[in-house]
Every structure is written in C-alpha cells, then in structure tokens.
Amino acid sequence: MDNLSEIYSHRFGEMGYERRDRVWKVLCRSFFDKRMVKDGSVLDLACGYGEFINNIDVKTKFAVDLNPDAAIHLSKNVHFTCTAADRLSFLDNHLIDRVFTSNFLEHLPDKETCNQVLREVRRILKPAGHFIVMGPNIRYLYDKYWDFYDHYLPLSHLSLSEGLKAQGFEIVEVVDRFLPYTMQSNLPTSDFLINVYLTLPVLWKMFGKQFLVTASNIGG
C-alpha cells in the first residue's frame, strides 16, 4: 500500500509503540531467544517499528519493510533495507539461520504473492534454517480479522502449514492459539504476567488468537 507511513502512524501511535516494545522485550527474552541461533543471523520480514528485531539476542540482524519510516526506529546493529518481502536479492542464497515475521502475511494481496515470499525465504535460509511465522488465525477471528483495512489474505495455522509444505518446507511446530489477537486490548501486559502466560499453554487456549508456525528448510 502507498500510505504505509500514515497507517502505521495512526494504528501504532507513540504510546502504542512503547507498550508493544516492552511486551516484545519479554517475548524475546523468555520465548523467542531460545528459538534463535545466538551467534548466527536473523531476518525480520516486514519489521514494522522493530519491536522484535531490536530485542532479539542474535549476533547479525537484518530487517526489511516497505515503510521507510521503519529505519528511524531500528537499533544501529540492524541492517535495514526498504524493500518488498519477495525481493530479497541483496541477501545471498542460504545465508540466514532464522527468518521471522509477525502479522504480515495477511497483508499480502493473494496466494501467489504469498508463494513468492515463501520461495524467497526458502532461498535465503540456510539448510535446516527455520522460518518462524506469527499471524492472526482466521479460524478464531473470522469476524474481527476484517476490521483492518489492509487485511487481504485469510490464513489459518492449517492453510499456512499446507502452503509452506507446498513450497518445500518441513513443518517443525504448529501452535494454533499462541498470543492474543492484538496488544491494543485491555489485557494486562506487565512483565510478570507475560512470563506467567508464556509458561502456561493452558492460557493460550483461552486467550490465544494468533498462530505460531515454524518451518524448516530441509532441502537447502
């Protein structure tokens, strides 16, 4: 979309950014750091304002986003490129240990564009590298899913897994209910309560509306 800067600014105001950044500090430290290669590399696909990539504990960090304003929010150790997610030619084949994306694929216009993104991710991943995907699960959000003007592509944990396998990935982990749908809700976000939530998957089944799917580039 041509007005990404305006949409981001409206949807994620400064107070919203501070809240999300604090939550992501805990998510990275208590959950996602364990899924990374600390001395390796990670790419944040559609990085937004950098809440994940700024806080993840990985030696070499890359980030891409179509919004040029993303750059001003990123830490100095993040290598940022303003480009589309299916145009990663600046990265060599089999270079990256982990690719991460959150709440992005639903913004793609159609399945073929999604396939192009998946193929490009597989190209840059090292053999056995992981693609970690979070996103709103249409199975549990068939109504609220469409409350955002820039949502186009409905995906569930099952349909995404099938699409990943069709592009040569092997599914490593599927969590149909992981985090709540949005951080704009009134749910408490203290560090203590987030840590409690992450350690009690029974709570995921109660509040989780986003899937977490991890796929491996088994073919290299």
Query: How do residues 75-130 score in pLDDT, each as one tens digit?
Result: 999 999 999 999 999 999 999 999 999 999 999 999 999 999 999 999 999 999 99
pLDDT for 147 equals 86
Nearest CA among 88, 65, 73, 87 for reference residue 1: 65
Of 106, 92, 8, 96, whose CA–CA distance to 48 is shortest?
8
Q: What is the average per-residue pLDDT within 140-168?
A: 94
- The average confidence (pLDDT) of the chain is 91
Domain that holds residue 157: 4-216
Q: How many structural domains is the chain composed of?
A: 1
When pLDDT is averaged across residues 155-178 and rounded to a whole number, the result is 98
Question: Rounded to an integer, what distance in angstroms lies between the CA atom of residue 215 and that of residue 34?
Answer: 16
Query: Is the predicted pLDDT of residue 5 greater than 60, yes or no?
Result: no
User: What integer pLDDT is reported at residue 9 of this predicted model?
Assistant: 53
pLDDT of 134 higher than 70 = yes
Q: What is the pLDDT of residue 26?
A: 96
CATH number at residue 133: 3.40.50.150
When pLDDT is cut at 50, 70 and 90, the band that residue 218 belongs to is confident
pTM, entire model: 0.91
5 is written with which tokens?
A: 């800067």
What confidence score (pLDDT) does residue 220 get?
A: 61
Q: Which of 25-39, 52-66, 172-186 is predicted least confidently? A: 172-186
Predicted confidence at residue 8, as pLDDT, reads: 54
Task: Return the structure tokens found at 154.
Answer: 């409905």
Q: For residue 153, is pLDDT > 80?
A: yes
Residue 49, burial from CB neighbour count under 10 angstroms (0-12, 13-18, 19+): buried
Q: How many CB atoms lie within 10 A of CB 14?
A: 8
Q: What is the pLDDT at residue 178?
A: 98
For position 184, what pLDDT does the model report?
A: 58
* pLDDT tens for each residue of 182-198: 765 556 678 999 999 99
Distance CA 105, CA 45 (A): 10
Residues 9, 64 contacting (CB under 8 angstroms): no
